[in-house]
Structure 1
Amino acid sequence: WAIENPHEITQCHHQYQFSVNVWAGILDDYLFFSFLPETLNGDRYLHFLTVDLHEFLEDVPLDVRENMWFMLDGAPAHFDLRVRERLNQTYANNWIGRGGPVPWPARSPDLNPLDFFLWGHLKAIVYSSPVESVEDLRVRISNGIERIRQTPGIFERVRQSMSKRLEACILNEGRHFEQLL
């Protein structure tokens, strides 16, 4: 007797790999997302900031928009001069990123809600079973985002976690702190 059936076939991977480029943002109790072009450059990201992001924010109350901060990771498209000029024009000193008014500490995903919460949570939903195609992946991402949006109290818990993380970072003088949470 064997624990596993030697004749059973299990698919481990696809012959062809596929991926999509996703932008997401959390603002108060809003979760925004957009599929971006597969290859992202400064021009494409600038278009996203100017057109798509503007449309997302139309339904957000003005007082929330006026007090929001925009956080970027170190992707090359984010560092494009025209992108940084647009961010300076739109958000003044309220943006965080490479070359911005508030530099983001390198390699610090433990302070970014998208990294410590959203991407892992979304991947657990999306990859709960094998993804068959790019179209399937896009549908699963859209459905996963909607499922997260509909989870009661989830953004309040993210804000509480962010506060705890900031306090732990300060108490540990900027060194690794996740073990303290």
Structure 2
Amino acid sequence: MFGGDPPNRWTIMRLVNNFAEQGTVARRPYHRNPPVRTEETIAAVAAAIQRVSTRTLSAQRGVSRQSLQTIMHKDLDLFPYKIQMVNKLNAADLPIRLEFCQKILQMVEEDQNMLNCLFMSDEVHFDLNGNVNKQNCRIWSTSNPQILHETELHPLRVTVWCAVSSRCIVGPYFFEENGHTVTVTGDRYLKMLKEFFYPELRRKRIPFNSVWFQQDGATSHIAQTVMTELRRKFPNKLISRNSEFRWPPRSPDLTAPDFWGLCKQEVYKTKPTNLDELKQSIRATIAAIPVATLKAAMNNFLLRCRTCVDEHGGHLNSIIFKTS
């Protein structure tokens, strides 16, 4: 190395170690790992990905998950899609849903103020630990397979009732006794209407004779005493199972969905650690929702009615699988 800088200490140590181990000062040959994205591996992944998870396939093929995802993205042009959870519809539900949506759209067209007077009510369950997580479930495909996973409703830890309109929210109301969540019965539901909903309408100075009241067909909602009271309070303006204006069964997808979606997103951001914190987060979230969001939610209800008509009463596929 005449004319150059002398080797440093680490270079000398490397040369000495190489000579001691191999009898030469030459560099060790560099061994590159064999390529993972071979035609054989790509073909095996393509054949198995619809049957097993990426974790299982990674273990079976001896390929890292990162390399496996590279193969799926770059070689197979696959993308992950979520399974969408919807309520199971019976064949008899479809004409009922279709008729309901057609009637709503006709009424709104004839009376633009009808939508402003409509209060859509429902109970929603909040789990202290958050919602059922579908983030880990993916289907890899070259296009959206539009797979629905039908699921039944399950009771959770806190039961919250609200009535949503385009101008305000009445609620939340927690079905509980002595600080513990209780089952919603006809008597408890009737008590909520008389002791909470009616006084809130009065406090907000909303005339009862202008209100259209909607509820689903839960057993507690259609108890004889409840229906008698609601028909008396909202004559000819009650949307419910067993009413003159029938609410279709198993149709939570037709309510004002943006409201509850926003609530659940915001409530769990605070990461409540006990039921009191969870309820306080629910109250604060609902109180903070602007009127513009409520109007958008009710307009979305009309959009869902139109989509249901287009789907002949079936699932709202064009909304569920909407791409942005």
Which range, TM-score by smaller chain?
0.7 to 0.9
- Partner letter of residue 50 of structure 1? K
Deviation per CA, 1:113-159, whole angstroms, max 9, x where unpaired?
1xx222221111111243211111111011111121xx351122112
CA distance in 1, matches of 2:192, 2:230: 12
CA distance in 1, matches of 2:297, 2:246: 22
The answer as to whether partners of 2:166 and 2:297 remain within 8 angstroms in 1 is no
**Corresponding residue for residue 166 of structure 2:** 28
- Partner letter of residue 160 of structure 1? N
Q: Say which of 91, 115, 120 aligns to 2:234.
A: 91
User: Who wins on radius of gyration, i.e. which is larger?
Assistant: 2
Q: Say which of 57, 60, 72 aligns to 2:205.
A: 60
Matched, 1:156 2:287: no
Alignment CA distance shift 1:28-1:157 (3 Å): closer
CA distance in 1, matches of 2:192, 2:185: 11
The answer as to whether partners of 2:217 and 2:241 remain within 8 angstroms in 1 is yes
**Corresponding residue for residue 250 of structure 2:** 107
- Segment of structure 1 superposing worse, 75-84 or 154-163: 154-163
Deviation per CA, 1:34-75, whole angstroms, max 9, x where unpaired?
12222221111111111211111012332xx42322111232
Deviation (angstroms), 1:178: 4.0
Runs of 4 or more off by more than 4 Å in structure 1? none
Alignment CA distance shift 1:29-1:177 (3 Å): same
CA distance in 1, matches of 2:228, 2:251: 24
- Partner letter of residue 47 of structure 1? K
Q: Say which of 250, 253, 259 aligns to 1:118.
A: 259
**Corresponding residue for residue 45 of structure 1:** 189
Alignment CA distance shift 1:99-1:81 (3 Å): same
Deviation (angstroms), 1:108: 1.5
Deviation (angstroms), 1:90: 0.8
CA distance in 1, matches of 2:281, 2:213: 26
The answer as to whether partners of 1:27 and 1:68 remain within 8 angstroms in 2 is no
- Partner letter of residue 130 of structure 1? K
The answer as to whether partners of 2:189 and 2:220 remain within 8 angstroms in 1 is yes
**Corresponding residue for residue 128 of structure 1:** 269
Q: Which runs of 5+ in 2 are unaligned?
A: 1-128, 130-155
Alignment CA distance shift 1:22-1:127 (3 Å): same
TM-score of the two chains, using structure 1 as the length reference: 0.78
CA distance in 1, matches of 2:316, 2:291: 28
**Corresponding residue for residue 70 of structure 2:** none
**Corresponding residue for residue 102 of structure 2:** none
Deviation (angstroms), 1:173: 2.4
Deviation per CA, 1:53-108, whole angstroms, max 9, x where unpaired?
1111012332xx42322111232211211001101111122112222222211122
Give the secondary structure class of the aligned counterpart of 1:169: helix
**Corresponding residue for residue 8 of structure 1:** none
TM-score of the two chains, using structure 2 as the length reference: 0.46
Alignment CA distance shift 1:46-1:107 (3 Å): same
The answer as to whether partners of 2:308 and 2:314 remain within 8 angstroms in 1 is yes
- Partner letter of residue 127 of structure 1? Y
- Residues matched between the structures, number: 160
The answer as to whether partners of 1:70 and 1:95 remain within 8 angstroms in 2 is yes
Q: Percent identity between the aligned chains?
A: 26
Deviation per CA, 1:151-181, whole angstroms, max 9, x where unpaired?
3511221122122222222233222234156
- Partner letter of residue 275 of structure 2? V
